């Protein structure tokens, strides 16, 4: 080899080395990605509420007296537990109490008077029967017998009239007692006092027609709660009574509670500037879950339409448009685009019917810049679960 050729060879080696060095120093850095393994597990098809739902008590009574008056008895406070039939509030009603006492005494007097009249009627009837026997023997005249019989019938009619009068007096007592009950509020069921509007000696009035006023007592049945939540009209036809559901409460840090669909509204709610929805009620499946609930808590429900157990699944966020995913090839450090067939899907997982196998790794951080087929990547060890 001549000296000239040796110089050319050295020059070519230098240029090649410089090119390799330039390529190595200028090539893009591998992209850090998050991946998740393809695994087997449960995949569900679900629907959820479009707006926040609400915890409601199965029974809630906003109570007020049916007549106006001054509060004379109010021995309850907010938070008190009360029993069905317990007196909660009473208006001043001494006049009605006195009237009832008077009528009760009048009823007793009418009953006693009627008894006396009926006893005299019995005596008159026995006397008439005795005279009839004497007439048959020819001892007395027929005129005396007729007179005694007529007198007995008259007194018997007086007896019946007295009995009816006594019954009328008793009925009047019932009317007065009904008037008295209009001044009292009794608990219609066991529950907790949520609100009390009023104090001793204050005057309360019933709500005028069409003008709601705050109730005197707000009573909540705290032994039974359910969730009412709006479901989009598109999803509503898929919901059935008895379907399982999951209830999430913000007040309990997103903790989930099992539930059951108990009612589906028979109409679509059309609210201005909002999507049309159908109200769905979900009850708690376990009684112990409602022990610390309060009516009015916000809640979300996720109704389970279908479920496949031991299905091949991947995170829902790893699926691109048209059922494509990016599979991580650890040996090459590259990404490969794979077309898959999907089954059930929800916010968490998508069922894979074909295209992947257990152990494959798919990219979940698909929104990162440069993540595409053929990209050189490394695992994001700081954020990789």
Model confidence pLDDT, tens digit, residues 20-74 = 554 444 456 788 889 999 999 999 989 998 888 999 998 999 888 888 899 999 9
Same domain, 79 and 101: no
**296 and 241 in a common domain:** yes
Same domain, 53 and 65: no
Identify whether residues 245 and 355 lie together within a single domain. Answer: yes
Looking at the fold, whether 150 and 291 belong to one and the same domain comes out as no
Q: What is the pLDDT of residue 25?
A: 47
Q: Residues of 183-197 as b/e, b for ≥16 C-beta within 10 angstroms?
A: bbbebebbbbbbebe
Residues contacting 271, CB < 8 A, separation 6+: 277
Regarding whether 233 and 213 lie in a shared domain, the answer is no
Alpha helices in the chain (DSSP H): 3-26, 94-137, 142-181
- Residue corresponding to tokens 């006893």: 119
Q: Burial, 239: exposed, middle or buried (Cβ in 10 Å; 0-12, 13-18, 19+)?
A: middle
Residues 46, 72 within the same domain: no
- This prediction has a pTM of 0.64
Residue 8 lies in a domain: no
Residues 116 and 254 in one domain: no
The whole-number mean pLDDT for each consecutive block of 10 residues of the chain, a chain of 385 residues, reads: 62 63 56 90 91 91 88 91 93 91 89 88 82 74 80 86 88 90 92 90 79 85 91 91 93 89 90 80 90 87 92 93 91 91 90 93 90 85 66
- Which of 245, 244, 240, 284 lies closest to 264 in space, CA to CA? 240
Q: Same domain, yes or no, for 53 and 64?
A: no
202: domain CATH number is 2.40.50
Domain membership of residue 134 as a residue range: 94-181
Residue 209 and residue 68 in one domain = yes
Determine if residue 81 is left, alpha or beta; phi over 0 gives left, psi from -120 to 50 gives alpha, anything else beta.
Answer: beta
Helical pair 94-137 and 142-181, crossing angle rounded to 10 deg? 160
Domain check: are 212 and 233 in the same one? no
Q: Order the strands of the 81-82 sheet from edge to edge.
A: 60-63, 217-220, 191-196, 81-82
pLDDT at residue 23, rounded to an integer: 44
- Is 72 part of a structural domain of the chain? yes
pLDDT at 154: 87
């Amino acid at each position: 080899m001549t000296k000239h050729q040796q110089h050319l060879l050295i020059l070519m080696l230098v240029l090649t080395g410089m090119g390799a060095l330039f390529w190595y120093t200028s090539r893009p850095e591998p992209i850090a990605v998050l991946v998740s393994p393809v695994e087997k597990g449960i995949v569900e098809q679900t629907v959820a509420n479009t707006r926040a739902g609400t915890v409601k008590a199965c029974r809630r009574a906003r109570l007020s007296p049916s007549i106006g008056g001054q509060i004379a008895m109010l021995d309850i406070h907010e938070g008190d537990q009360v029993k069905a039939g317990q007196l909660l509030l009473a208006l001043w009603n001494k006049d009605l109490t006195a009237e009832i006492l008077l009528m009760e005494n009048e009823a007793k007097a009418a009953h006693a008077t009627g008894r006396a009249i009926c006893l005299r009627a019995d005596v008159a009837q026995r006397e008439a029967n005795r005279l009839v026997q004497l007439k048959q023997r020819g001892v007395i005249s027929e005129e005396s017998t007729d007179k005694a019989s007529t007198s007995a019938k008259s007194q018997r009619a007086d007896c019946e009239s007295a009995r009816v009068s006594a019954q009328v007096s008793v009925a009047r007592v019932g009317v007065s007692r009904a008037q008295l009950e209009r001044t009292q509020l009794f608990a219609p069921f066991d529950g907790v006092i949520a609100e009390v509007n009023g104090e001793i000696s204050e005057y309360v009035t019933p709500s005028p027609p069409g003008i709601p006023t705050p109730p005197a007592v707000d009573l909540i049945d705290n032994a039974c709660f359910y969730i009412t939540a709006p479901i989009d009209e598109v999803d509503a036809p898929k919901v059935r009574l008895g379907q399982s559901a999951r209830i999430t409460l913000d007040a309990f840090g997103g903790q989930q509670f099992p539930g059951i669909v108990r009612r589906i509204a028979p109409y679509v709610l059309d609210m201005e500037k909002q999507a049309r929805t159908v109200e769905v009620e979900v009850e708690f499946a376990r009684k112990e879950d409602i022990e610390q609930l309060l009516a009015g808590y916000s809640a979300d429900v996720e109704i389970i339409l279908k479920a496949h157990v031991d299905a091949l699944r991947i995170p829902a966020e790893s699926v691109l448009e048209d059922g494509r995913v990016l599979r991580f090839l650890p040996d090459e450090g590259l990404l490969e685009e794979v077309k898959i067939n999907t089954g059930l899907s929800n916010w968490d997982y998508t069922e894979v019917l074909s295209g992947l196998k257990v152990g494959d790794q798919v990219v979940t951080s698909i929104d990162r810049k440069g993540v595409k087929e053929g990209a050189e990547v490394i695992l994001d060890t700081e954020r990789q679960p």
